[in-house]
Structure formats: C-alpha cells, structure tokens
Structure 1
Amino acid sequence: MASSLGKLSGRRVCSVALGSGLPRSRTLGPAGGRICLSALGGTGSAQIRGLGSGSGTGGVGAGGGARRAPWLVAGLAAGLAGVAAAAFHHLAPAEMVPRTEVASSVPDKADDLALRCSSFMTQPVTALSELRARPGDMKTQMELLIMETQSQVCQALAQLDRGATFAVDRWERKEGGGGISCVLQDGHIFEKAGVSVSVVHGVLSEEAEKQMRSRGKKFKTKNGQLPFCAMGVSSVIHPKNPHVPTIHFNYRYFEIEEADGTRQWWFGGGCDLTPTYLNKEDAVHFHQTLKDACDQHDPGFYPKFKKWCDDYFFIKHRGERRGIGGIFFDDLDSPSKEDIFRFVQSCARAFIPSYIPLVKKHCNDPFTPQEKHWQQLRRGRYVEFNLLYDRGTKFGLFTPGSRIESILMSMPLTARWEYMHAPSENSREAEILEVLSHPKDWVH
C-alpha cells in the first residue's frame, strides 16, 4: 500500500540531491551558469550532492540495452514526478526556508541525537530541539526510525545502481508537518525508486474520518473535529529488468486525540513483492526473511499478516492479486506501543536483506522484448490497484493539503494496457497468473 502519510503537503520548500560526496554546483541554465536562488526568492546558488556514482557499469539485460543514465537534475524540480534526468523543462521556482538545524557531517560528539541524524538523507521533519525535548515519546522514536530506514534503503539502492542520484525533495504542509521524498529515476538498474517520509498533523478530514470509522474505529469528536498526528515511511521500487521484481513497503504510526483528551494510537504497514515472472527460490527467500522478522515477536504474526496481505492486494475486477504477497497489517494497538514499535522496527530492517539479494541476482539477466512487454502489462495492473483500491492513496486524496506528486510517487514511469490480452497456455506468463489467482504458502 502506498503510504497514507506521504500524500499530505502544502508548498514545496527546497530540493537537493544528497549523498556521500562533497557539495558541487551544477550548471542548470541553458547558458551553463548556476541558477541563483535569490532570483527565485532565496539566497545563494543551487548546490547538490550526488548519492551514487555516475561512472558505474551496472546494466540491464540484453533485451533492454545497457546505457549510462544521465545525472538527475538537482534542486527546484516541481514535485517528485518532475525530478528526471536533465528535465530542465520541469523546473519551477521553489521557496527556500532558513535551515537552522541541518544534520551536520561533523556533529557535536556530545549530542547523540545529532550524531544519529548525521547519517540521514537530510535533517528530520521535526526540529531537533523538539525531538530532544521528548526523547521517550513514541512520535520521536518513530520519526527517527523512518528517517533511518529511508537513509539505509536509499544508500543500498544507490550503491547498486550507480547510474543516477537520489533527488531529495523536502516539503512543508501548511496544515501542519511535512515530509522528505527521495526519488531516483532512469538509473542503470532502477527505472524509478522512491522512498518517502511524512510527519504530518492537524485535523482529520471528514472523508478520512469516515474511512477510519468504516474499519471499526470509534471517536469522540470535539466540535466535530479530531486532531491527529501521523507519520511513516513508504517505498516503491520499479526495476528496468523484468527479472528483477517490483517491491513496496510502508510502515506508519497514527495518533488521534479525542474530545476528552484520550489518545488512540495504532501502527500499520507491510511489505509485498510483485515479480513479472515467477522464481520460486526468490519467493521463498523473500517470505522467509519476513517470517523470521515476525517470529522474533510472535509466531502467529507471519501467517496472520501473510493472509491479510494476500486479501488486501486483491484486484477485484481482475480476480487476481497484485503480486505474490508478503505481510500486511493495520490498526495494530496491542499489547503495547513499545512491543509493536519493536515489531515494526524488525520489519523495516528486514527490507534490505529480503530484496537487495534478489536485485543483485537478476539485474544483469538477459531479457527479450517479449518479456519487457509482459512487464509493462503487469505494471498496468499495479497502477489499477493503487488508483482504485489502495487505502493509503484514498486517505491522501481525502485529506486537505494532499500532495499529488507524493500520492503518485508509487506509479511506474512506464506501463501498458492492451485490449483483451491473454498469455499463451502453459507459458511463463500464465504461470505467474496462476499464482496471482491462487496464493501459495512459500515457507512451509
């Protein structure tokens, strides 16, 4: 499910590309000069840092043709969809804000929080002073976890791809809070990879409240309003090679304050794999890694959340699942915040070992035009589910200040629809459709 949190924003405040290299200025204008932010309402010249290298030779299969992807334009891209290689026509003015607490590469050694934040893609959404003031609060713990997860995933993907950088887009939501969206596009291995963090607060919209009540939630409103706080990390990764599966994960935390001051809270999330072609060894590896993460906390979690995932990612009008599943859960509020937080932490940390080995295994597999064609058709199904059924997408669209670029971050760059397309009987395409229609137990 696309994040129900990475959908909410007001204005975009700045965009940079971050990584392990030193800052360098980039020539973005047609005459080869720097873009001066003072001309756009800010001060100073645009600076970027590259996360990942442009000199790698990682490639796609023979059917796609390996090539060097251009560097992503850094700074001032108009939303996530506008961050593309050399896409100067997408540039739009961005309003800069003072950065008084940027995570430093050489933090105060006595400040453990600053030291931890120095490894993030950029500073947390919440000011460090506020995070320091409430170190034991679950909102602080969760924000640091999702920032850490974003950074670790981006670093792992960039190290593999080496064909494009992650653009880091920091935005604010006028109704409260903001987020950080990191997007890599048109790399050697990944066509599009997005990892987004959101930390938002405000008053729940009527439509969002109805959606929650439909799941059995009961709230006591004050003057018809429900203050809320929500945060999470969400990622969708679309590889170029059809033998590398698409993957999605999302982990989030909600708090609702009722009229009498009572706070309701819950966690949600999950991770699911969407291969173009079935590889049973890959399926077992992916599910076993998630099961191991679940079993550390409760042996009943994996079978329960695996079935929940199969049921949730069901494309009703097609009669098939979006992929081969994984785990999915929502409204998890027992036995305690600390117990569920530790479970979510284990799940988030399971992403890299569950997926990166599959990318390394298949990223250079040869593929045919026919296999690429099938990948495009399967991506069409992915789009159908996200737009028609995904609860997170609906929550974002129903919430004031929704940010269309973040809502659509999960969409692939390319997809295909054909009228009445059906694979040949006993083909590899038919094999994956059988699994999508009848989910399997991969670890028993």
Structure 2
Amino acid sequence: MQNPSSLDIQHVRTFLLGLQERICRSLEEQEIEGGGTATFITDDWTRAEGGGGKSRVLQGGQVIEKGGVMFSHIHINNLPVTATTRHPELVGATAQALGVSVVIHPKNPHVPTSHANIRLFVAEPEGKDPIWWFGGGFDLTPYYPKDEDIKFWHQNAFDLCLPFGDEVYAKHKKWCDDYFYLKHRDEQRGIGGLFFDDLNQWGFAKCFDYMQAVGNGYLNALLPLVKKNKDLAYSDEQREFQLYRRGRYVEFNLVYDRGTLFGLQTGGRIESILVSLPNLVSWTYRPSWDADSIESKLTSYYLKPKDWLNIL
C-alpha cells in the first residue's frame, strides 16, 4: 500500500481549508437571507506539540444559533494508550491528523441539527512503515422530521457513494446507525447518514476522492434543508422541545464521540473540541407528550434505523 507523500498531505490540507471556507460562506448567505447579520469569527491557533488550526464559529444568528466549522492539522509526538484502543501497535508513535469538523445548531426547530467530519490520520511507528487512513461522514438530527427531507438526505448519501461501489452506501449507512447510538437512552442520535473509518484499502487517491465526495455531499445536502425550513413558524412549545432534544446531542458528544475523546486524550484545544455543544440546551425531568404527537413519534418511529430510501 502506497504511503502518502508530503505533497499528498498538502493536497488534503488545501481541500479541507477550501471546504471550510465554502461552508462558512454558504451559511453566512443563509443568515443574510434570513435577515441576520451574524458572521463567522476566525480564530487561528497553534499547539506546543506542533501544528494548529483555524476555528470558525458563528453565534447568535437569525438562522444559525451556533455553528462551528473547525479545521485542524496537529502533530503528536507520542500517541497515548487511551488514543490507540483500536490500534495498540501505534502506542508511542509520532502522528499527524488533519480534518474538518462541522456542527450546525439552527435556531428554528424545523431545521435539523447537522454534523460532518472528514479527516486523514498518518502515524509513523518507530522502525516501521507509516500507517494512514481516512475517516469521517455526516449525519442529521431533526426535531420535527419531514419524510421528504429525510429521503433527500439519504438519496444524496446514496448518490455520492455509488461511484465507489454498490455496497458502500449500505455499509457506511449501517456504520453510521451503529455509531450514533446512545446506549444509555436506547435511541439513535438522529436519522443517520454515513460514517466510515480506517479507510485505506482503495489506495490513497481513491480514498481521498471519497473523502472529498463526502465533504462536498454534506454541503450539497445541508443547504436545501436550511433554505426550505428556516422561515417556518414555530411555537414556544416547539422551541422547548428542541432545547430538550439538544440534551441528547450533548450526551452523545461528551460520552461517546471519538473525536471529542481523542481531542481530550491528546491535549487538544478545549474551546475547539467542545464547540459542538449548543449555547442553549435543557434537561427537563421526565417530560411527556401525547402518544400520537410528533414529539412522541420522533423517538418511537424516526429515531429507529430504517431503509429510508425505500420506506418513504
């Protein structure tokens, strides 16, 4: 398996920074259309061990209540045991990781929360050949789901996967369903999407192509859903339900999310690691809704893995 050159890694970096810029610019355009003036602030940072990143955050917008579009390219001199549970052979290795991570918490409860992450990891164990892989994906967390939006999201995922193999969508959709699962709640975080990790079996060029397809696919799927739903009227009760369900998002990110845990275990920048948490959230004690309400149907029906392309 061919290892990536420094030029290969630079190409990945260039794409990631370009994707970050396009996502921010597109969401700022949605803010303007929605009558808002909020823009992404840019926070460049470095870390003592090597590398750094560019954090871009929008808060208090008319459309986006909080959005983080984070680029990082970090160097690690000594991978800790806690960060190598899936690859114990890499304990103590030097490594570099670069990626873009996105979490968008819209203000309107009718606009789903969305997440995307794409990354490249390269490790160099002493006396051995480098080891590399790509990972990432995207997923959607609606509060007031619409069947046509869910199908659109998954159709976009299916279409971008198809050039890479007939089995890719089904495999990476299931991986997403399995990954974004809150075991202590016995429920999914949302209606899924794609998730992949340890991807290197296609060779560097094809794996990089897939990572780009996933990154571009996220933006292509997100914008129509924002445009369609951002101006819909909502009640105080719907807003309260949105804040309550955001609590599940926080629980997953703090308890299970690999990216959060990796950042904490490797001495990452806390503000960037925890930018995925919404500014406003609630944990109401044992709330209840009518059995036939959309609020109840969210957990009883929508937050169950399904073949969304054929069921809707």
Classify the TM-score, shorter chain.
over 0.9
Asked if residue 148 in structure 1 is aligned to residue 6 in structure 2, the reply is no
Shift of 1:190: 0.6
Asked if 1:193 is matched to 2:63, the reply is no
Task: Tell me the secondary structure at the aligned position of residue 11 of structure 2.
Answer: helix
RMSD, aligned α-carbons: 1.5
Q: How far did residue 343 of structure 1 move?
A: 0.6
Which whole-Å CA distance do the structure 2 matches of 1:220 and 1:301 have between them? Answer: 28
TM-score normalised according to structure 2 size: 0.94
Higher strand share: 2
Q: Distance in 2 between matches of 1:266 and 1:187?
A: 36
What is the match of residue 137 of structure 2?
270
Aligned to 2:150: 283
SS at 2:49 equivalent: coil
Q: What do the CA deviations read for 1:252-292 (whole angstroms, capped 9, x no partner)? A: 00001011141000010000000011210000001111111
- Can you list the C-alpha shifts for 1:43-70, whole angstroms capped at 9, x where unaligned? xxxxxxxxxxxxxxxxxxxxxxxxxxxx
Count of residues paired in the alignment: 303
1:297-319 Cα offsets, whole Å, 9 max, x none, are 11211100101101101011111
Mapped to 2, the partners of 1:423 and 1:387 lie a distance apart of 27
Structure 1: gaps of 5 or more residues:
1-133
Q: Could you tell me which amino acid in structure 1 is paired with residue 50 of structure 2?
A: G
Q: Report the residue type matching 1:413 in the other structure.
A: N
Matches within 5 A, 1:280-429: 280-400=147-267, 402-429=268-295
Superposed displacement of residue 415, structure 1: 0.4
Matched position secondary structure for 1:414: coil
Q: How does 1:1-80 map to 2 (within 5 A)?
A: none
Contact 1:319 1:437 in 2 (8 A): no
2:301 aligned with 1:431: no
Partner SS, residue 198 of structure 1: strand
Q: Do structure 1's residue 182 and structure 2's residue 56 form an aligned pair?
A: yes
Deviation per CA, 1:419-441, whole angstroms, max 9, x where unpaired? 11232201001111123542111
Q: Give runs of ≥4 in structure 1 deviating > 4 Å.
A: none
TM-score (norm 1): 0.66
Change (3 A) 1:220 1:316: closer
Equivalent position SS for 2:89: coil
Distance 1:270 1:299 in 2: 17
Deviations 1:65-103 (A, max 9, x none): xxxxxxxxxxxxxxxxxxxxxxxxxxxxxxxxxxxxxxx
Q: Secondary structure at the match of 2:117?
A: strand
Q: 1:404 to 1:318 in 2, by over 3 A?
A: same
Q: How far apart, in 2, do the equivalents of 1:226 and 1:199 lie?
A: 17
Match for 2:218: what amino acid? Answer: F
In structure 2, distance between residues paired with 1:272 and 1:318: 18
1:321-342 deviation line (CA, Å, top 9, x unaligned): 1110000011111120111000
Answer yes or no: is the 8 Å Cα contact 1:324–1:435 preserved in 2: no
Give 2:48's aligned amino acid.
K
CA distance in 1, matches of 2:129, 2:166: 32
After TM superposition, give the deviation of residue 407 of structure 1 in Å. 1.0
User: Unpaired runs of 5+ in structure 2?
Assistant: none
Deviation at 1:392, TM superposition (A): 0.8
Is this contact kept in 1: 2:79–2:95, CA < 8 A? no
Distance in structure 2 (CA, Å) of the matches to 1:170 and 1:309: 31
Quote the Cα distance in structure 2 between the aligned partners of 1:341 and 1:232.
Answer: 12
Report the 3-state secondary structure (helix = DSSP H, G, I; strand = E; otherwise coil) of the residue aligned with 1:137: helix
* Structure with greater helix percent: 2
1:170 aligned partner, one-letter code: D
1:186-208 alpha-carbon deviations (Å, 9 max, x no partner): 111110111000001122342xx
Q: Does the Cα contact within 8 Å between 2:64 and 2:104 map onto a contact in 1?
A: yes
Aligned equivalents of 1:386, 1:220: Cα separation in 2: 25
Answer yes or no: is the 8 Å Cα contact 1:220–1:259 preserved in 2: no
Report whether the alignment pairs 1:442 with 2:312.
no
Output the CA distance in 2 between the equivalents of 1:274 and 1:203.
36
TM-aligned CA distance change 1:390 to 1:359, over 3 Å: same
Q: Does 1:233 align with 2:100?
A: yes
Corresponding position of 1:102: none
1:322/1:436 contact within 8 Å kept:
no
415-424 vs 191-200, which moves further:
415-424
Determine if contact 2:115/2:138 at 8 Å carries over to the other structure. Answer: yes
Q: Quick check: which has more Rg, 1 or 2?
A: 1
Which structure ranks higher in relative contact order (CA pairs < 8 Å, sequence separation ≥ 6)?
1
